[in-house]
Amino acid sequence: MLDRRALLAGLAGTPFAGQGKRLFSDDFRHGLKRWAVEAEKPAMVSARDGVLDIVAPAGFTAWFKPELVGPIAITYKAQAVSAGGAFDRVSDLNCFWMAREVDGGSPLDHPRSGAFADYDTLKTYYVGQGGNANTSTRFRRYVGRAGERPLLPRHDHSAADEMLTPNRWATVRLVADGERIEYWSDGRRLFEHHDPSPYTRGWFALRTTQSHLRIRNFQVYGLLPTGR
């Protein structure tokens, strides 16, 4: 019989390896009480009938209010809407996770304008998944300094199959498991980063700009220890 460590190691190539109990969830049937919104320009946002619907004419961030403590996995389904609307651009399905202020505080205690540059001063992981005119999908590890958004060449992707597809529900999975940081899309790992000084607790946010996104089935799970 395989021991626990060997079993989890064997599952390491799958998106649900080592998943433990559910810590948080939002089915988007009870409004926005669990989210804090920051918008550069007035946005249309609703949470009803199981869907968070966001129409953002400019920079937009929605923070999930509970603090998350790793190791964790965050999952949700996302759709980039293309239905003829003014901001149906099919681009910028973005997120922050394990985000904190440089002093260790909560981003919710320091509201920002929604403009992208305002978030440079966080310590956080970030992925921006592009489409159409935004021809890149990128992972960054923010270091908390204004004007700095470090980007390693291997974390700057331009393959067409890593961009958004109009009107298609995609499953996103974020991992913060000690030094192992990952971003998955529909069971495919787009980014894997080994961080010797990991961000192990913080806040999650959805992020976009000039787009129309729909989100559903938001969940946060603890991860089982792998014995590393």
In sequence order, the 6+-apart residues with CB closer than 8 A to the CB of 191 are: 127, 139, 155, 181, 182, 183
Tokens 């956080």 correspond to 124
pLDDT tens-digit profile of 190-205? 999 999 999 999 999 9
Q: What pLDDT score does 17 carry?
A: 57
**SS in 3 state form for 57-68?**
CCCEEEEECCCE
Query: Going residue by residue through the chain (228 aa), what tens digit of pLDDT does each one get?
Result: 333 333 333 333 344 557 889 999 999 999 999 999 999 999 999 999 999 999 999 999 999 999 999 999 999 999 999 999 999 999 999 999 999 999 999 999 999 999 999 999 999 999 999 998 888 999 999 999 999 999 999 999 999 999 999 999 999 999 999 999 999 999 999 999 999 999 999 999 999 999 999 999 999 999 997 644
Confidence (pTM): 0.90
Q: Which structural domains are found in the chain, ordered by start?
A: 21-222 (2.60.120.560)
pLDDT tens-digit profile of 63-108? 999 999 999 999 999 999 999 999 999 999 999 999 999 999 999 9
Please list, residue by residue across 64-84, b when 16 or more beta carbons sit within 10 angstroms of its beta carbon and e when fewer do.
Answer: beeebebbbbbbbebbbbbee
* Separation between Cα atoms, residue 84 and residue 93, nearest integer Å: 18
